[in-house]
Amino acid sequence: NANINILVPLGTSILVPVFVMLLVSEKELRLVAMMVSQGMQMRYYYAAIWLFAMTLGVLQSFVFVIMGVVFGIRFFTRSSAILIIGLMLLWNVASVSFSFFVSAFFSRTRPATIVVYFGLLIGVIVSN
């Protein structure tokens, strides 16, 4: 049970550092500036990144839920499917939004990735 208390938050949040790394690296390499200079509007850039991140998040959540059912974790076996789907979708929206928020504070990829990974680990450890 103690392992599940650590693995569930880590398993559902593991893509946040990846999303932050993606956003900050595009900013660091000036890819966003190049896309804007070529005529791309920022709302389409953000929509494309959001859709990509949500797709990855939904796939990760699907695998996470399947593994939870296979290993007999009580939350996944006793809860309604609608509740689990809704919770995972809301969590993915929150994770992607948080990634956008955090990426605004960094201009280099390596510090952003390290800080977010450590923040995730410390948050999970402190919450238990």
pLDDT 10s digits, 91-101: 999 999 999 99
DSSP H stretches of helix in the chain? 2-13, 16-28, 31-37, 42-70, 74-78, 81-103, 109-127
The pTM of the full predicted model, rounded to 2 decimals, is 0.88
What was the pLDDT predicted at 125?
86
pLDDT of residue 21: 96
- Which residue, among 48, 45, 13, 41, has the nearest Cα to 27 in the 3D structure? 45
CA distances (Å), origin 11, targets 28, 92, 97, 100, 123: 28, 12, 18, 20, 13
Position 1 confidence tier, pLDDT thresholds 50, 70, 90:
low
> In the 8-state DSSP scheme, what is residue 100?
H
- Give the CA-trace dihedral at 49, 83, 85, 98, to 10 degrees: 20
Contact 12, 126 (CB under 8 A): no
27-83 pLDDT, tens digit per residue, is 999 999 999 999 999 999 999 999 999 999 999 999 999 998 998 888 889 999 999
Residue 85 parent element (H or E): helix 81-103
Summarize the confidence of residues 100-115 as an average pLDDT: 96
